[in-house]
Chains A and B, each alone.
Chain A
Amino acid sequence: ETGVTQSPTHLIKTRGQQVTLRCSSQSGHNTVSWYQQALGQGPQFIFQYYREEENGRGNFPPRFSGLQFPNYSSELNVNALELDDSALYLCASSSASTGVSGELFFGEGSRLTVL
């Protein structure tokens, strides 16, 4: 089990609402990435934060936004929820110093259902 924790684990929202998901990264990791995993699909990269700055973004609209705090924890915010936003949202932490680029430590995810 990794030291990455996410909250909430499950939540249900309705179309048009807004949601905030939270992530605490593994101790010593300064980089947080967020992924969306739809049922039966692989995770899709949303964005990455490094030292409180967005450091790359996948093909997601601006209503997906994020923050990283000085303690390296992070939030993912999604505005104007759509039915297709229903998915497992995974937070992954990593460290530039590990020397293994791409070795991610995932949290257990937040499962979002949009009705």
Chain B
Amino acid sequence: QKEVEQNSGPLSVPEGAIASLNCTYSDRGSQSFFWYRQYSGKSPELIMFIYSNGDKEDGRFTAQLNKASQYVSLLIRDSQPSDSATYLCAVNRYNQGGKLIFGQGTELSVKP
């Protein structure tokens, strides 16, 4: 079992719709959770992080964390073609600085 699992996609949504990206993790010692976006041929960039159970909103993005179910998700409201990218879920165990464990990423395609 991989430590961090994501559906590889591609996930295709129409412009203006809500995109829902999911991630599960296996280590209950995981402390913090991150969503990175990676455009094709580019490096990952941080979108959001979440530490506590519940929802965290930032503009069109909402991260949701359920530690009991070992599940973290990212919702993108009013999806735009510019949101088309690979979204990487990452987990930091025991708050070990820059030592993140990444999932394989979910490719999102937003169709105009």
Contact = CB atoms under 8 A, between A and B. Distances in A.
B92 A40 contact: no
Contacts of A108: 42-43
Contact of A102 (B8, B45, B97, B103): B97
Contacts of A107: 43
Contacts, number: 73
B104 A40 contact: yes
Interface residues of A, number: 28
B42 A102 contact: no
A55 B98 CA distance: 10
Interface residues of B, number: 26
Contacts of B6: 42
B102 A103 contact: no
A35 B101 CA distance: 10
A86 interface: no
B98 A94 contact: yes
B81 to A, nearest CB: 21
A22 to B, nearest CB: 15
Interface of B: 4, 6, 8, 31-32, 34, 42-46, 49, 88, 90, 92, 95-105
Given A94-B97, A101-B95, 17 more contacts: A2-B43, A33-B99, A40-B8, A43-B100, A43-B102, A44-B102, A48-B98, A48-B99, A56-B96, A56-B99, A58-B99, A101-B92, A101-B96, A102-B97, A104-B46, A107-B43, A109-B43
16 contacts: A33-B97, A33-B98, A33-B99, A35-B102, A40-B8, A40-B104, A41-B105, A42-B6, A42-B90, A42-B104, A48-B97, A56-B96, A94-B97, A101-B92, A102-B49, A104-B98
